[in-house]
Structure 1
Amino acid sequence: MVRSVAYDCDVLVVGGGIVGLSTAYAITRAAPGTRITVLEKEAGPARHQTGRNSGVIHSGIYYRPGSLKARYAVRGAAEMVKFCAEYDIDHAVTGKLIVATERSELPRLHALVQRGRENGIPVRELGAAQIAEYEPEVRGLAAIHVGTTGICDFVGVARRLAEASGAEIRYGAQVVRVDRRPSLGVAVQTGGGDVVRARVLVNCAGLYCDKVARLTGDEPGMRIVPFRGEYYSLARPELVRGLVYPVPDPAFPFLGVHLTRGVDGGVHVGPNAVPALAREGYGWGVVRPLEIASTLGWPGAWAIARRHWRYGAGELRRSVSKGAFAAAVRRLLPAVADEDLVPAAAGVRAQAVLRDGTLVDDFLIKEGARAVHVLNAPSPAATASLPIGREVARRALAVLGSV
């Protein structure tokens, strides 16, 4: 005898950031009539990674050709500009400079040119004298100009996706328990005691995606290790016209301290990358011992520390010393003084780390029984959110069709 189950929805999305909301939006368009519920523990959308980044629409130049990041960022950048224009969301296609300030960086800069061309991105190579055409105050030995980079209001995008998705969105609904039975579906209990029953669960929980996967009964094979990115605002924004980046270290998924003129006209400076003492640890004063213990209990965290302690020491120094941070900025912008840097809100990157200490470099999406888990979606996930949402929606609908 088959037990009859009354489902509250067909697809339950955990997480109201830009990826979760894009997934709900994509499901609605691919399969009208699908009942979707989104659970978000905060009082509104996009309160964490989505709303605490530089607001950059990335071109896709950094990412390995053929990877999800490369394909989705290139496609997503164009789609994001179109989406913002269609829904009257603040945005601009500004272009950006990637600047080499030391000779040792020149081979890496040239490699980025080649990578950009492989990814189909128009790139202009600049000599030292040509940098001033774009940024008169910036100094370097050489640079490349990437014309498809832009900026936008990602929180505004998330709000519009929420409105257009047609989903029931429940804010203040933190997932505390998941009961999954392949023959019956998924029941999720929230901190308020509500129970939501669904045919399929989609995990877009960002900083807590590994925890939600384990609540579901799936072992994700990775853990989120949180890295805080600290920012300053530039007191003299006239020093920067657009976006200026250093040449990144290919060993890390971080792009280095950069300068970003946002849609509000202000200039963000940062971020650095330091271990956070909580998954939502936006300052050194936010400490959650259980989350620290979870991180330290993962062998990959210790492997990172052993392998990259020198890099980490430099990041920590810039975290505790404004002078050290300003010195890093002056490599690109010599006119910056310590007093030009005004503390701004920090962000936390949800970085997936494998057991052996490998930093997962690409987007990572896995499926389980009646579940789809988005397990690594840091930057450029906001840029790529529309194609990521379609891919997650495709998988969720395939799972839905099989049950």
Structure 2
Amino acid sequence: MSTYDFCVIGGGIVGVATAHHLLTERPGARVLILEKEKALAAHQTGHNSGVIHSGIYYPPESLKARLCRAGAEWTKEFAAANDIPFEVCGKLLVATDADEYERMLALYERSITNGVKVELIDEAELKRREPNVKGVGALWVPGTGIIDYRKVTATLARQAQELGAEIRTGATVDAVIETDSAVTFSGPWGSAKANQLIVCAGLQADRMARMSGITTNFRIIPFRGEYYRLPANRTGIVNTLIYPVPDPALPFLGVHLSPTIDGDLTVGPNAVLGLAREGYPKGSVNLRDARETLSFKGFHKVAASHLKTGMREMRNSLFKRGYLAECRRYCPELTAKDLLPHRAGIRAQAVLADGTLVHDFLIETTPRTLHVLNAPSPAATSAMPIAEHLVSLL
């Protein structure tokens, strides 16, 4: 049986960044990365809008606020140093009515507290900058950018291998046994042992925690984020990222217009309940996933608390015109024929048994294991600061 100093389960950007940082801090350590898919970055890392977030939204001194600010700078510096294409295009958060304007002002105050550079602009200035966007005012966040996080993950993985990491793909883990002296883990590929285990399992985080003997009071609820893309002749309809003012009661940022580093312009995502944690085609159902979600009392409480929002999201998922109406609130130039199919993403959202949506990053430890239990957006932006934080806890 092979023995390692550290094993990282999960080949998304957070897991790969953690292995990379381990070997940077502890040269010569024996590090193994296990990923159950055939390729790295197969789930949340490879199915997001590719935004380098600024940290404007998050409660001051939360892990998200602190790590996102640091992560945005790291991401840009790492990309520049490794010839990974990125662009600091900035972002406009657009208020379309008086209520949103008040929420926007609260975000402005929070951004100042969080140390994020922003500018408050009026309706006339918004119109000058974005002739096709309608609003009563906006926040300009100049530090927001776009990138392909799959390329960041691939570069981190290559560098980690050069530092001595071993990466195994197609390696599902179905048993974890922790003793006083080591952690043994196994799957169809065989078994191995490590002094310490770091689990960055994303959509499978709760199951991996229970497999490791951790008593959990939450469940990962998958929310599908469905996107459209605009035809090539419409990609110039906006000049930068255009976001609505988010609802502070929800962890989702709303349907936004996002230029991508590949030259596309995407619209989305919405947020609808997923019945398969890793089923990206529309209508995907996994019976185990659906049963665990629908039988969880925390989900029942979330559904009851956000029934109106949930029904609207489901309606917009089924009918393109409803989805279009969300976009037309701030970009009335869009038409139904502009919305072309695009790949979906799935957000791993931790929900407590009392129905509380976990907003911040959530980490749990045992003497020899460390579990990242909740790391949705902006985890990709924050990947290396998260990694540094995890390594500091070992």
Fold in common (TM above 0.5): yes
Q: How many angstroms does 1:291 deviate by?
A: 1.2
Amino acid at match of 1:257: V
Distance of 2:137 and 2:241 partners within structure 1:
16
Do residues 8 (structure 1) and 6 (structure 2) align? no
Corresponding residue SS for 2:43 = coil
Distance of 1:245 and 1:18 partners within structure 2:
24
Corresponding residue of 2:246: 248
Corresponding residue of 1:197: 193
Distance of 1:83 and 1:93 partners within structure 2:
14
Corresponding residue of 1:231: 227
Distance of 1:100 and 1:341 partners within structure 2:
23
- Equivalence map 1:3-402=2 (5 Å): 8-166=3-161, 167-181=165-179, 183-192=180-189, 194-235=190-231, 236-396=234-394
Amino acid at match of 1:35: R
Amino acid at match of 2:51: V
Q: How many angstroms does 1:143 deviate by?
A: 0.4
- Residues 104-155 of structure 1: per-residue CA shift (max 9 Å, x gap): 1111000010011001111111111101333221110110100110011100
Distance of 2:115 and 2:199 partners within structure 1:
31
Amino acid at match of 2:383: S
Gap runs ≥5 in structure 1: 1-5, 397-403
Distance of 1:353 and 1:369 partners within structure 2:
25
- Residues 20-57 of structure 1: per-residue CA shift (max 9 Å, x gap): 00100111111111111010011111010001000000
CA contact (8 A) 1:21 1:161 kept: yes
Q: How many angstroms does 1:369 deviate by?
A: 2.5
Distance of 2:129 and 2:21 partners within structure 1:
38
Corresponding residue SS for 1:50 = helix
Range with bigger deviation, 323-332 or 293-302: 293-302
- Residues 32-90 of structure 1: per-residue CA shift (max 9 Å, x gap): 11111010011111010001000000000000000000001111101100000001101
Amino acid at match of 1:392: L
Distance of 1:212 and 1:339 partners within structure 2:
43
Gap runs ≥5 in structure 2: none
- Residues 358-381 of structure 1: per-residue CA shift (max 9 Å, x gap): 000100111112100000000000
Distance of 2:98 and 2:336 partners within structure 1:
26
CA contact (8 A) 1:98 1:246 kept: yes
Q: How many angstroms does 1:195 deviate by?
A: 0.4
Q: TM-score, normalised by structure 2?
A: 0.97
Distance of 1:68 and 1:89 partners within structure 2:
26
- Residues 240-288 of structure 1: per-residue CA shift (max 9 Å, x gap): 2110000000000000000000101110100000000111122333111
Amino acid at match of 2:297: P
Distance of 1:133 and 1:121 partners within structure 2:
24
Corresponding residue SS for 1:53 = coil
Corresponding residue SS for 1:77 = helix
Q: How many angstroms does 1:392 deviate by?
A: 1.0
Percent of aligned positions with the same letter in both sequences?
47
Q: Which runs of 4+ in 1 moved over 4 A?
A: none
CA contact (8 A) 1:59 1:121 kept: yes
Distance of 2:204 and 2:128 partners within structure 1:
44
- Residues 275-310 of structure 1: per-residue CA shift (max 9 Å, x gap): 001111223331111111111232111110111111
Corresponding residue SS for 1:175 = coil
- Residues 314-358 of structure 1: per-residue CA shift (max 9 Å, x gap): 100110011111111111111100000001000000000111010
